[in-house]
Structure 1
Amino acid sequence: MPITLITGCSSGIGLATARALKAAGHSVCATARSPEDVARLASEGFDAHQLDVTDSEAVQALAAELPELDVLINNAGYGLIGPLLDIPDAALRAQFDTNLIGLLSMTRACLPALRRRQGLVVNIGSVSALMVTPFAGAYCASKAAVHAASDALRMELAPLGVRVTEVQPGAIATRFAEQAGRQAEQVIHEQSPWWPWREQVRKRAQASQQHGAAPEAVGQAIAGALARAPRVLRVGNGSRALPWLVRWLPGGWLDRILSRRFGL
């Protein structure tokens, strides 16, 4: 029975993937930050653990409980929305601490267990790593960093027998917009030079949910791709079209299109 550890399983992609892999016969260790979510995961039959990926001691402690591991899915993350220069330094650090440094910390801690099984690391990135939009600069930058880190890890871990896949979802119907909206409201303020565009900031917080695919589609796609471990797995609305536009449209055109889209 394959042993799989998934971070950020309270809802959305993490929860859907945990359910898909459990149904496929994996022994799934599912983590979440809140005790309520951990209890709910346990009630579904998962090996559930409370975990904040920015807590290095907790990460090490959980990894020590898993001496062997077939798959690590680094899903924990969130989206910080707002004009980039309006976001306080502490909030920027928190964005990267969760989306990038937590991912690396988790992978480092689990590496011995993954090597024993010649395992697979799956990093949940985003199409936003490639298609950067106004008012999502912090989130896009953190996912661009995940993209770069995944490329580096793929090459560095290959000699150790560990493979790496990066998932780049497009629009997915999760709680991302709800959480991003709360984050945006903490950033928006009347003294900002971008105050006249406050409704556009709110619009960007909701944009990723428009025509979103069900998270279950992502979970099933990940479950189906584990055996072949592709370099990049794209799933969801826009996950293929948007990178194509970035590749082929002149940069100036793309800037104008996105600026107009968000009212700048």
Structure 2
Amino acid sequence: MITGTSSGIGLAAAVAAARAGWQVVATMRDTGKAGPLWRAAAEAGVAGRIRVERLDVVDHDSVAACLDEVLAAYGRLDAVVNNAGAGRVGTIEQTGMEDVRATMEVNFFGVVEVTRAAMPHLRASRGRVITVTSVGGVVGQPFNEAYCAAKFAVEGFMESLAPVAASVGVTVTVVEPGAVASEFVENVGIDRAAMAAAAGPYAHALQAYVDRATKTFSQAQTPAEAAAPVIEALTAEKPAFRIQTSDWARDFVGVKLSDRDGSAVQGLTGDWIV
């Protein structure tokens, strides 16, 4: 079962998992947006291995209903891929608390909700939890306070859960993409002119950040490239807990993981906004 499959990494992972031989339950909040997934599945010749179900990760009843459908259809659940998420660009002084809470809800609490509901079934199958986080779950980034906070929370949750889950036969992995060319970026909804006009004392720093981000995403991985490690985590005998999706992501995350006093990260990201 893969969440957030209407576009981007989730769509690519659903098709790739089906090609790898899995029966895939591809979930999305609005099943009316399943057209691109079905077209990609048909082109790959795997439409018969994919079942689309509605799932809103922030709705407890929706999560329970979807899992009931999965168990009724297949009798078991072998793996969950937590992929659904949403970006948020802006600094905390200028971001409403409702926006911060909404970002945490979909990116963190949605992951917790789905994982918690799936665990009894994954214990029964000795299955796997694979969660698409971000390099932003390891390295905090300017104007991404709410998003990075949510992804940091996911990383902490999964890192803490992993040994406990392993004690009952469930494998936990996080997959950390860098920039990915997908509709995720469009869905952040950056209106550069409006943001600059409203940024006040942060206008220069924000413009520098947006310029850098635009360049970075113009050279981004494809969703299929970013989804490949998800399939690795599904199929490897003993997948690593943490998998980055590119050499750039490995190098970027490596700065943080070897940065004992925090100066290396501050020097790196501080240069983004000058």
Same fold (TM over 0.5): yes
Structure 2 counterpart of 1:58: 62
Residue 158 of structure 2 corresponds to residue 150 of structure 1: yes
**Structure having the larger proportion of residues in helix:** 2
Name the amino acid aligned to 1:165.
T
Structure 2 counterpart of 1:200: 208
Does structure 2 retain, via aligned residues, the 8 Å contact 1:84–1:137? yes
Residue 20 of structure 2 corresponds to residue 24 of structure 1: yes
3-state SS in 2 of match to 1:49 = strand
Structure 1 counterpart of 2:256: 246
Structure 1 counterpart of 2:44: none
C-alpha separation between the residues in 2 aligned to 1:141 and 1:208? 21
Between 1:110-119 and 1:120-129, the stretch displaced more is 110-119
Residue 272 of structure 2 corresponds to residue 261 of structure 1: yes
Does structure 2 retain, via aligned residues, the 8 Å contact 1:8–1:32? yes
Structure 1 counterpart of 2:246: 236
Structure 2 counterpart of 1:14: 10
- The 1:222–1:85 alpha-carbon spacing in structure 2 relative to 1, beyond 3 Å, is same
C-alpha separation between the residues in 2 aligned to 1:147 and 1:184? 30
- The 1:34–1:207 alpha-carbon spacing in structure 2 relative to 1, beyond 3 Å, is farther
Query: Deviation digits for residues 10-42 of structure 1, max 9, x if unmatched?
Result: 111101111101011110000112232235545
Name the amino acid aligned to 2:164.
E
- The 1:191–1:37 alpha-carbon spacing in structure 2 relative to 1, beyond 3 Å, is closer
Cα deviation, residue 186, structure 1 = 7.8
- The 1:79–1:185 alpha-carbon spacing in structure 2 relative to 1, beyond 3 Å, is farther
Identical columns (%): 31
- The 1:61–1:200 alpha-carbon spacing in structure 2 relative to 1, beyond 3 Å, is same
C-alpha separation between the residues in 2 aligned to 1:105 and 1:185? 37
Q: Which runs of 5+ in 2 are unaligned?
A: 42-46
Cα deviation, residue 200, structure 1 = 3.1
Name the amino acid aligned to 2:30.
S
Does structure 2 retain, via aligned residues, the 8 Å contact 1:29–1:47? yes
Does structure 1 retain, via aligned residues, the 8 Å contact 2:255–2:264? no
- The 1:173–1:70 alpha-carbon spacing in structure 2 relative to 1, beyond 3 Å, is same
3-state SS in 2 of match to 1:31 = strand
- The 1:135–1:163 alpha-carbon spacing in structure 2 relative to 1, beyond 3 Å, is same
Q: Which runs of 5+ in 1 are unaligned?
A: none
Cα deviation, residue 78, structure 1 = 1.4
- The 1:119–1:156 alpha-carbon spacing in structure 2 relative to 1, beyond 3 Å, is same
Cα deviation, residue 74, structure 1 = 0.2
C-alpha separation between the residues in 2 aligned to 1:118 and 1:191? 50
Number of residue pairs the alignment of both structures matches: 259
Name the amino acid aligned to 1:118.
R
C-alpha separation between the residues in 1 aligned to 2:191 and 2:163? 35
Does structure 2 retain, via aligned residues, the 8 Å contact 1:39–1:48? no
- The 1:130–1:208 alpha-carbon spacing in structure 2 relative to 1, beyond 3 Å, is farther
C-alpha separation between the residues in 1 aligned to 2:86 and 2:247? 19
- The 1:62–1:89 alpha-carbon spacing in structure 2 relative to 1, beyond 3 Å, is same
Does structure 1 retain, via aligned residues, the 8 Å contact 2:103–2:147? yes
Cα deviation, residue 84, structure 1 = 2.2
Residue 52 of structure 2 corresponds to residue 48 of structure 1: yes
Instruction: Indicate which of 219, 224, 228 corresponds to 2:227.
Output: 219
Does structure 2 retain, via aligned residues, the 8 Å contact 1:7–1:75? yes
- The 1:154–1:182 alpha-carbon spacing in structure 2 relative to 1, beyond 3 Å, is same
Name the amino acid aligned to 1:29.
V
Does structure 2 retain, via aligned residues, the 8 Å contact 1:172–1:212? yes
3-state SS in 2 of match to 1:82 = coil
- CA-atom RMSD, angstroms? 2.3
TM-score when normalising by structure 2: 0.85
3-state SS in 2 of match to 1:54 = coil
Between 1:199-208 and 1:215-224, the stretch displaced more is 199-208
Structure 2 counterpart of 1:132: 140
C-alpha separation between the residues in 2 aligned to 1:40 and 1:171? 21
- The 1:52–1:203 alpha-carbon spacing in structure 2 relative to 1, beyond 3 Å, is farther
